[in-house]
């Protein structure tokens, strides 16, 4: 099979490179490369303990999972966590008075979401 190009060259690309005319002049340097054989970064530090309770008091006998004891996070982050919990559990919920309430006994699902978010969930109460 005949070759038109020498073996040292790679075949021409099918599409012209749209970034060929761009220059990196004036851009800040990227992050330094980690040395080979280095230890990966430590896992995120725990964001603190949160209590997970199951309660039925004053709710007409319906069970609710309550997460409380958040330290150092604001209402927007609590609302994002509550939305993730509702979606994962397939139930409703709300943020009231600094705590997250999820309908039903969903303590294990809620604990997994909190662990993934860097919190240390603790089962408390009944």
Residue 57 inside a domain? The answer is yes
Structural domain harbouring 53: 46-62+91-126
Residue from 44, 64, 77, 43 nearest 126 by CA: 64
Token look-up 């209590």 returns 51
Residue 100 inside a domain? The answer is yes
Buried b (16+ CB within 10 A) or exposed e, 35-50: eeeeeeeeeeeeeeeb
**pLDDT value at position 15?**
76
Residue from 50, 54, 49, 47 nearest 101 by CA: 54
Number of independent structural domains in the chain: 1
Residue 123 inside a domain? The answer is yes
Residue 35 inside a domain? The answer is no
Residue 112 inside a domain? The answer is yes
**pLDDT value at position 17?**
82
Confidence label for 122 from pLDDT (cuts 50, 70 and 90): very high
**pLDDT value at position 2?**
54
Residue 36 inside a domain? The answer is no
Reported pTM: 0.63
Confidence label for 61 from pLDDT (cuts 50, 70 and 90): confident
**pLDDT value at position 82?**
95
Residue 120 inside a domain? The answer is yes
**pLDDT value at position 107?**
94
**Pick the residue with more confidence: 126 or 92?**
92
Residue 25 inside a domain? The answer is no
């Amino acid at each position: 099979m005949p070759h038109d190009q020498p073996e040292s060259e790679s075949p021409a690309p099918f599409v012209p490179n749209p970034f060929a005319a761009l220059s990196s002049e004036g851009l800040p340097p990227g992050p330094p490369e980690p040395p080979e054989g280095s230890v990966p970064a430590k896992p995120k530090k725990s964001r603190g303990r949160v209590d997970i309770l199951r309660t039925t008091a004053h709710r007409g006998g319906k069970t609710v999972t309550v997460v409380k004891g958040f330290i150092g996070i604001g209402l927007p982050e609590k609302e994002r966590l509550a939305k993730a919990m509702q979606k994962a559990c397939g139930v409703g919920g709300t943020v009231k008075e600094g705590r997250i309430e999820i309908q039903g006994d969903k303590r294990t699902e809620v604990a997994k979401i909190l662990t993934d978010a860097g919190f240390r969930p603790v089962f408390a109460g009944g």
